[in-house]
């Protein structure tokens, strides 16, 4: 299934230079030594979750597949590498025909993960696989951080709709990826039109304070908006006096007014006052939307308030304090020689600190208790125990260089809801704590 098959309207440009220089200098040296063609296994994992987080969310897998498919060194890119003396002539020649022809396995997008989980496994020649490190990590680290923040906010919202509004608080391209990740994590819509265009996300938006300030009176602004967008629109009511604005909004739109938005002040107190006022004015079906620098804690504090939806920006697109997941891409196994049938050798980094790794090509499974609730993330390098055969987590994403794991974004969103529901209840706690599942190495 290609991007066109999924109806994606924007092609992904070449991703070949979304990399660090040392990926290519390693390639050059490995080509010269002859080791570049040894079969190798790289794995993506994190040694720890961000402080206080109970689980992580795998996100960006679909974008990784796009990036791998479009990792091509065209003439302009090769000219740049030659001009800057990044690599030598033989390496440039090798790069000119680069196509990833190996296999990629990974946790399906939307799945949860824990420290040590082999989130992605890339297999191929050392040369083919090593140069994908940076682009894979940049996507997974960013998108998974946003999705984890979104998931926590979705839990805090308790089923009330969440709208992503963070485009003005992030790099313009990162904002599009953040919208996608937020959707996987539980948000329903985005203000970002590029995300709507690229990924088919529902988009939302009506008016800012500037629209009210433009007009001579607040009533004039409301009339103009209702006449343009209909009575079901959302009117922003905190530009001047909130209670007066609510009254004017109902007078202009009638009880059919779709919603009012509160963007400042004591949201808990104001939501109760506005709800009472709307009910008294006969606008019992008019919803209340709140914005104003919300995060998961602010959302949770409004659980008892008569709020119908939340709009979240800055905190969401910055990972709510954790803008990366600290994922790494490590060589864990490689062939003992260039021969096709050469035995594989487990390799691992040894360190005096906390940056060591575990060698060997790994499988992962989630063990359930007698009630069907997850109780451990089990990771191993040997045979998979019979009782865990049907609980394995990694799925094929690329086979022989061909993308096999593309899926609609809705599938990742649904998977995350199901995966989160399968965790112990303590996973929904916002208080600081250890990962909700232990990782067992076998």
How confident is the model over 355-390, as pLDDT tens digits?
A: 778 999 999 999 999 999 999 999 999 899 999 999
* Tokens matching residue 408: 């609609």
CA dihedral sign, ordered 390, 393, 398, 404: positive
Output DSSP code: residue 116. Answer: T
* Tokens matching residue 93: 């020649």
CA dihedral sign, ordered 116, 122, 125, 128: negative
Q: Which candidate, 173, 172, 432, 439, places its Cα nearest to that of 322?
A: 432
For helices 409-421 and 172-185, the axis angle rounded to 10 degrees is: 50
Q: How many Cβ atoms from other residues are within 10 Å of residue 328's Cβ? A: 17
pLDDT of residue 352: 66
d(C-alpha 123, C-alpha 100), whole Å: 10
Tell me the pLDDT band of 9, cut-offs 50, 70 and 90.
Answer: low
Mean pLDDT of the chain: 95
Q: Which of 315 and 5 is assigned the larger pLDDT?
A: 315
Tell me the pLDDT band of 8, cut-offs 50, 70 and 90.
Answer: low
d(C-alpha 382, C-alpha 379), whole Å: 10
Tell me the pLDDT band of 1, cut-offs 50, 70 and 90.
Answer: very low
Average pLDDT over residues 195-223: 97
CB 73 within 8 A of CB 16: yes
Q: Which candidate, 177, 167, 112, 115, places its Cα nearest to that of 146?
A: 177
Give the rounded distance of the alpha carbon of 297 from its chain centre.
20
* Tokens matching residue 185: 């994590």
d(C-alpha 401, C-alpha 103), whole Å: 6
pLDDT of residue 322: 96
CATH architecture, domain 21-130+326-412+422-441: Alpha-Beta Barrel (3.20)
d(C-alpha 94, C-alpha 28), whole Å: 9
Its pTM stands at 0.94
Tens of pLDDT, residues 411-421: 999 999 999 99
pLDDT surpassing 80 at residue 354: no
CB 104 within 8 A of CB 120: yes
115: phi then psi, degrees, rounded to nearest 5? -55, 130
pLDDT surpassing 60 at residue 218: yes
Share of the chain above pLDDT 70, in %: 97
Tens of pLDDT, residues 122-180: 999 999 999 999 999 999 999 999 999 999 999 999 999 999 999 999 999 999 999 99
Q: Do domains 21-130+326-412+422-441 and 147-321 have the same CATH topology?
A: no
Check whether domain 147-321 has CATH 3.20.20.70, yes or no: yes
> Domain extents for the chain?
21-130+326-412+422-441, 147-321
Output DSSP code: residue 335. Answer: E
């Amino acid at each position: 299934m290609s991007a066109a098959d999924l109806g994606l309207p924007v092609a992904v440009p070449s991703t070949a230079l979304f990399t660090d220089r040392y990926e290519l200098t390693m390639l050059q040296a490995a080509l010269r030594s002859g080791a570049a063609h040894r079969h190798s296994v790289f794995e993506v994992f994190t040694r720890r979750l961000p402080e206080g987080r109970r689980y992580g969310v795998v996100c960006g897998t679909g974008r990784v597949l796009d990036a791998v498919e479009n990792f091509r060194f065209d003439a302009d890119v090769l000219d740049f590498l030659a001009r800057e003396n990044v690599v030598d002539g033989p390496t440039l020649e090798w790069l000119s025909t680069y196509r990833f022809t190996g296999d990629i396995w990974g946790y399906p997008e939307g799945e949860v993960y824990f420290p040590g989980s082999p989130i992605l496994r890339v297999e191929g020649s050392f040369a083919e696989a090593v140069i994908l490190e940076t682009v894979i990590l940049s996507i997974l680290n960013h998108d998974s951080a946003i999705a984890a923040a979104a998931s926590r906010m979705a839990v805090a919202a308790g089923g009330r709709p969440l709208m992503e509004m963070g485009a003005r608080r992030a790099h313009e391209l990162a904002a599009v990826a953040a919208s996608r990740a937020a959707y996987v994590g539980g948000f329903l819509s985005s203000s970002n039109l590029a995300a709507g265009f690229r990924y088919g996300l529902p988009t939302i938006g009506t008016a800012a304070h500037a629209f009210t300030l433009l007009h001579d009176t607040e009533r004039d602004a409301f009339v103009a908006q209702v006449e343009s967008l209909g009575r079901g629109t959302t009117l922003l009511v905190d530009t001047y006096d909130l209670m007066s604005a609510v009254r004017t909004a109902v007078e202009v739109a009638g009880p059919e007014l779709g919603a009012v938005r509160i963007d400042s002040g004591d949201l808990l107190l104001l939501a109760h006052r506005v709800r009472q006022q709307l009910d008294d004015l006969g606008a019992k079906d008019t919803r209340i939307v709140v914005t104003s620098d919300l995060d998961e804690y602010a959302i949770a504090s409004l659980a008892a308030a008569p709020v119908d939806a939340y709009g979240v920006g800055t905190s969401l697109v910055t990972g709510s304090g954790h803008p990366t997941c600290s994922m790494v891409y490590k060589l864990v196994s490689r062939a003992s020689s260039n021969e096709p049938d050469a035995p594989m050798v487990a390799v691992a980094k040894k360190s005096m600190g906390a940056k060591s790794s575990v060698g060997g090509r790994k499988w992962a499974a989630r063990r359930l208790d007698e009630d069907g609730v997850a109780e451990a993330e089990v990771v191993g390098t040997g045979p998979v125990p019979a009782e865990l055969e049907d609980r394995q987590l990694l799925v094929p994403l690329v086979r022989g260089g061909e993308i096999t794991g593309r899926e609609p974004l809705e599938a990742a969103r649904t998977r995350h809801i199901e995966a989160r529901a399968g965790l112990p209840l303590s996973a929904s706690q916002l208080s600081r704590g250890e990962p909700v599942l232990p990782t067992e190495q076998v």
